[in-house]
Amino acid sequence: MSPEPTGADAQGSPGLWARLRALVVHQVTLGLHAEIGKFLIVGGLNFLLTLAVFFTLVRVLGIHHLLGLVGAWLVGMPFSYALNFTWVFKTEARLRFKARFGRFLLASVVSLLLNLAALELLVRATAIDPFLIQCGLIPLIVVFNFATAKLWSLRKTHASVGC
């Protein structure tokens, strides 16, 4: 007699399929938590890097805050791509700048444009220091960037996982 896909065995404990499904869900959850943790580490490093660039451009050199944000982005985007590609999502064995980089760049440009718009709107509406507003926008940007990388730009394909 074959076990029920979702049922229990004669002693009332979970059947084979239920245990397998629970194991798969557990492994997927662990993998997602590991990716999120690594993404947050990369994001934290990128945050420190781009914040230093943004601070230097805006506060030290007196450059307009929107140009400062673009300058910081130009430094942080390739740094983020390299670490997310090779360490967080492990999309392929080697770092490549082909179609994935194009998608990552497009997602990053959309993120930057949304960030620029939000920064400028909030600066004009509140007269709060752009540096502080940018710090407050970071969590929203992180969520957007993780979602676009995980679900689109650095998503593993069947070919990259050996299927």
Which of 71, 18, 20 lies closest to 49, judged by CA?
Answer: 71
Cα distances from 151 to residues 22, 53, 98, 144, in angstroms, run 23, 29, 18, 11
Q: Is the pLDDT at 163 greater than 50, yes or no?
A: no
Neighbours of 56 (CB within 10 A): 14
C-alpha–C-alpha distance, residues 105 and 107, integer Å: 5
Integer Cα distance of 126 and 145 in angstroms: 26
The stretch 113-121 carries a mean pLDDT of 94
What's residue 93's pLDDT?
65
The reported pLDDT for the residue numbered 116 is 92
Average pLDDT score over the chain: 80
pTM over 0.75: no
pLDDT at 134: 87
pLDDT one-digit tens code per residue, 22-33? 555 555 555 667
**Quick one: angle between helices 65-83 and 16-55, nearest 10?**
140
Least confident of 6-10, 32-36, 119-123: 6-10
Say which amino acid occupies 77.
M
Which pLDDT belongs to residue 131? 85
b or e along 106-115 (b: 16 or more beta carbons within 10 Å of the residue's beta carbon)?
ebbeebbeeb
State the amino acid at position 161 in one-letter form.
V
Q: Which conformational region is residue 107 in: left (phi greater than 0), alpha (psi within -120 to 50 degrees), or beta?
A: alpha
Q: For the chain, what are the domain ranges?
A: 39-161
- Angstrom distance (rounded) from CA 145 to CA 39: 10
Give residue 58's region: left, alpha or beta (phi > 0; psi -120 to 50). alpha
For the segment 17-59, what is each residue's pLDDT rounded down to a tens digit?
A: 665 565 555 555 556 678 888 888 998 899 899 989 999 999 9
